[in-house]
Amino acid sequence: MRAITLFAATLAMSISTAAQAGGSHGGGHGAATGQPGQADAVSRTINVVMHDNYYEPESVSVSPGETVKFVVENRGRLVHEFNLGTPAMHEAHQKKVQMMVAHGVIQGGSINHERMNMDMGNGHSMKHDDPNSVLLEPGESAEVIWTFPDDVSLEFACNVPGHYQAGMYGEVTSE
C-alpha cells in the first residue's frame, strides 16, 4: 500500500526542476534526457535496489528510444533518492535536497511529509514531485517510467546530501 500511495504522489508533479536545470547548463540536456513514459509503452522492467549508500546495479544499458519501467526499492536504513538526469542536473538538484535536510524534511531514515508541503514563500514548497525521480524511506518502493532519447548519457543518482559525492549513482548508457 505504501508503495502505491508514494507512486501516486510522484505523479502529482511539476517538471520545473528538471527543465530548469537542463536549460541552465548550456541547453541540449533537455533533448538528451528523454521524458516521462506511458505504461503501455514499457518494453522492460529494471529493478534497482537502494542500499546505504549505493545502488544495485550500478549501471544500466537501454536501447535508443526505449521506454523502461524502473522498480526502485529502498533496502537501506536511510532515505534515498532515485533521480534520472545529467551530472549537471544532479548538481543543481542537490541544493534543493540540501534545503530539505536543513528544514527537517529528510531526517536520516524518515521523510516528514508535512514539512515537505510547507509553504516556502513565492509559491514554492519542498515537494519532491518531479517525474524523473522518487524519494524513498527505508522499506518503500516505487516506479519510474521513462522514455529515453536515441542517444543516452545519463546517471541515476541519489541527491541526499553527501550520497552522490560518496558514490551513490549509476550510469545509463545506450546499448
* Amino acid (1-letter code) at residue 78: L
31 vs 102, beta carbon nearer other proteins: 102
- Which range in 10-18, 32-40, 46-54, 123-131 contacts other proteins by CB under 8 A? 46-54
The answer to the question of residue 104 lying near other proteins (CB under 8 A) is yes
Q: Which is nearer to other proteins, 9 or 101 (CB)?
A: 101
Whole-angstrom distance, CA of residue 85 vs CA of residue 92: 10
Least spacing, CB of residue 118 vs other proteins, in Å:
6
User: Rounded CA gap, 14 and 101, in Å?
Assistant: 21
The least distance separating other proteins from the CB of residue 2, rounded to whole angstroms, comes to 16
Q: Which is nearer to other proteins, 64 or 113 (CB)?
A: 113
Per-position b or e across 60-91, b if 16+ CB within 10 A of its CB: bebeeebbbbbebbbebebbbbbbbbbeebbe
Q: Which is nearer to other proteins, 64 or 162 (CB)?
A: 162
- Report, in Å, the least distance between residue 109 CB and other proteins: 8
Site string for other proteins, 151-170 (x = CB under 8 A): ----------xxx-xxxx--
Q: What is the 3-state secondary structure (H, E, C) of 21-32?
A: HHHCCCCCHHHH
Q: From residue 47 to residue 86, what is the string marking binding to other proteins with x (rule CB under 8 A)?
A: x-x-xxxx-x--------------------xx--------
What's the half-sphere exposure (Cβ side, CA atoms, 13 Å) at 50?
33
Tell me if 157 sits within 8 A of 48, measured CB to CB. no
